[in-house]
A and B are shown apart, each in its own frame.
Chain A
Amino acid sequence: MKKLFISNFLFLLSITMFAHPGIGIVKDSKGNIYYTDLAKVWKISLDGSKTIVVSGVHSHELYIDEHDNLYGEHLWYNGESKDTWGYYVWCLKNTGELVKEINPTEGFLTNYSFVRDSSGNMFWVEKFTSSRIMKKSKNGGITKLIEGKFGFIGWLTCTKNGSLYFTEGNKLHKLSPDGKSDSYRMETLAKNIGSKSTDFSMMGRNYESYGIWTDAAHNVYLAMIDSKKVIRIGADGELQTILTSNSMWTVCSGIFDNNGNMWVLENSVSNEVRARKITKEDLAGNKTAGSFSTNPHLLITLFTIAGIILLFFGAKMILNKRNQKTTHFSI
């Protein structure tokens, strides 16, 4: 019983600690999916098998280059006595070798990002009294793309051609090269995309939109963590809810595979992470009803029924015994 109390307490505690989910989900040139659960990096192969490819890394974001080299950061806290943070950047080479791209360093990652275009340019947000979006070219040159008094800017995402998408409060912006050298143009694609968030206000994040990803048709997808849904924003700015989750899981990010299926990265209330495939048929709304024979759901339901029957007959037996005793004494 004591163990049960402790496990309940820990479970409830874990719910309150739901803090900062990762958004790292990428695919390689063959179509294998990689995602982070904030402690390990998993690979889902084309046959559906799942393996750990990097372990012991607290990585929120991932990046994979055109040669299938996988990059991520390991971030850690050095304890209250030191009250400092440390990080290193790792790279899992396409040969399977794991190397440190940036050696362990105190502080936070600066002038480096996992948001990159196909040319290898990096993009990141610097948040001060005014916020900036920065770019680091492959040759190392750093330029400021835009600066202004923005509200809270969430995760940044970049398409292969260098278009950047980011949310500012409940607005979605697009920043794209305007054809001139290193000059970018910002346009607001949608306003009022999400309601105020309750979970993330402590980090300055007031709105619920989280991970951003795009498809081949340049539609933008946003994970709405509080309302547990994914919205699609078309080129015309029209908002459409394409996926809702009615379980304890919430979508944090996503990606499209080579066959047009959408993979979503989900976090549970107990801080577990999974990647789930939403087939293009499901996305198109032609979803078939869930089968009864899947997962442990059916088994546990049957065991529960068996438990109820056992308990009922147990209770009946006890009552009968009591009744016999009572009758015996009365006689």
Chain B
Amino acid sequence: MLYILSFLLSWLCGLLVILISAFFSYDQFSMSDIVSFALLTFAGFLILFLLIYLILLRIFNKKIPGNKQFIYFPLIFSLLANLPAYFLIWKNIGGLYGSSEAILFNLGFLTSGFVFGLFWAWKNKMMAKTWGSSTFAK
């Protein structure tokens, strides 16, 4: 359940950044624009989540301890895990969209990765707190 929630939360945060940026950079951000951005980021983030995020999460959950996760997790997921997305976005500039859309896509993925990393660091801290308190109760 937490995996699904973290996925949706991260994707929505990415979409929110796109929507807010569009207020400042677009003359008209129509329903079609919103649906296009929402679908493309959802599909892209779903693929990244299933193929990369879950694997990296499993690896780095064990390797990075404690509070360091708050620094490394957002960095790893926003930069390293999103590399294929950044590459594909860059490759399709001029073909599927212009450079301004590419910036928005990149911003969206960057935010999604950042929030995802932050979420799991926070989740781990919450769980660790409980284990600490329960040990104390014992």
Residues of chain A having any CB pair with chain B under 8 Å: 4, 7-8, 11-12, 15, 198-199, 226-228, 245-249, 268-270, 272, 274, 276, 290, 292, 295-297, 300-301, 304-305, 307-308, 311-312, 314-315, 318-319, 322-323, 326-327, 330-331
Give the number of chain B interface residues (Cβ < 8 Å): 50
From A307, A308, A315, A331, B134 is in contact (CB under 8 Å) with A331
Contact assessment for B16 and A246 in the assembled complex, using a CB-CB cutoff below 8 Å: no
Q: Which residue of B lies closest to A276 (CB)?
A: B28
Contact assessment for A314 and B32 in the assembled complex, using a CB-CB cutoff below 8 Å: no
Contact residues in B for A300 (Cβ distance below 8 Å): 19, 34
Contact assessment for B36 and A269 in the assembled complex, using a CB-CB cutoff below 8 Å: yes
Contact assessment for A247 and B134 in the assembled complex, using a CB-CB cutoff below 8 Å: no
B18 to chain A, nearest CB (A): 9
Contact residues in B for A318 (Cβ distance below 8 Å): 1-2, 5
Contact assessment for B94 and A248 in the assembled complex, using a CB-CB cutoff below 8 Å: no
Contact assessment for A308 and B32 in the assembled complex, using a CB-CB cutoff below 8 Å: no
Contact assessment for A8 and B95 in the assembled complex, using a CB-CB cutoff below 8 Å: no
B126 to chain A, nearest CB (A): 5
Q: Which residue of B lies closest to A287 (CB)?
A: B27
Which of B51-59, B69-77, B82-90, B96-104 forms contacts with chain A? B96-104
Sample 16 A-B pairs with CB under 8 A, ordered by A number: A8-B42, A247-B26, A247-B30, A269-B36, A295-B28, A295-B29, A297-B34, A300-B19, A307-B12, A311-B5, A315-B119, A318-B1, A319-B123, A322-B127, A327-B130, A331-B134
Contact assessment for B96 and A326 in the assembled complex, using a CB-CB cutoff below 8 Å: no
Question: Count the A-B residue pairs with Cβ separation under 8 angstroms: how many?
Answer: 128
Q: Which of B1-40 contact A (CB under 8 A)?
A: 1-2, 5-6, 8-9, 12-13, 15-16, 19-20, 22-23, 25-37, 39-40
Contact assessment for A312 and B22 in the assembled complex, using a CB-CB cutoff below 8 Å: no
Contact assessment for A323 and B1 in the assembled complex, using a CB-CB cutoff below 8 Å: no
The answer for the CA separation of A327 and B1 in the assembled complex, in Å, is 20
Contact residues in A for B6 (Cβ distance below 8 Å): 315
The answer for the CA separation of A276 and B32 in the assembled complex, in Å, is 14
A66 to chain B, nearest CB (A): 34
Q: Chain B at the A interface: mostly helix, strand, loop or mixed?
A: helix
Contact assessment for B32 and A268 in the assembled complex, using a CB-CB cutoff below 8 Å: yes
Contact residues in B for A226 (Cβ distance below 8 Å): 94
Contact assessment for A246 and B25 in the assembled complex, using a CB-CB cutoff below 8 Å: yes
The answer for the CA separation of A297 and B19 in the assembled complex, in Å, is 7
**B131 on the A face (CB < 8 A):** yes
A325 to chain B, nearest CB (A): 9
Contact residues in A for B100 (Cβ distance below 8 Å): 246
**B43 on the A face (CB < 8 A):** yes
Contact assessment for B126 and A269 in the assembled complex, using a CB-CB cutoff below 8 Å: no
The answer for the CA separation of A226 and B127 in the assembled complex, in Å, is 51
Contact assessment for B23 and A296 in the assembled complex, using a CB-CB cutoff below 8 Å: no
The answer for the CA separation of A322 and B126 in the assembled complex, in Å, is 10
From B19, B30, B130, B137, A301 is in contact (CB under 8 Å) with B19
Contact residues in A for B123 (Cβ distance below 8 Å): 315, 319
Contact residues in B for A11 (Cβ distance below 8 Å): 36, 39-40, 43
Contact residues in B for A198 (Cβ distance below 8 Å): 94-95
Contact assessment for B134 and A327 in the assembled complex, using a CB-CB cutoff below 8 Å: yes
From A8, A292, A307, B39 is in contact (CB under 8 Å) with A8
The answer for the CA separation of A331 and B2 in the assembled complex, in Å, is 25
The answer for the CA separation of A12 and B41 in the assembled complex, in Å, is 12
A246-B5 contact, Cβ under 8 Å, with A308-B16, A330-B135: no
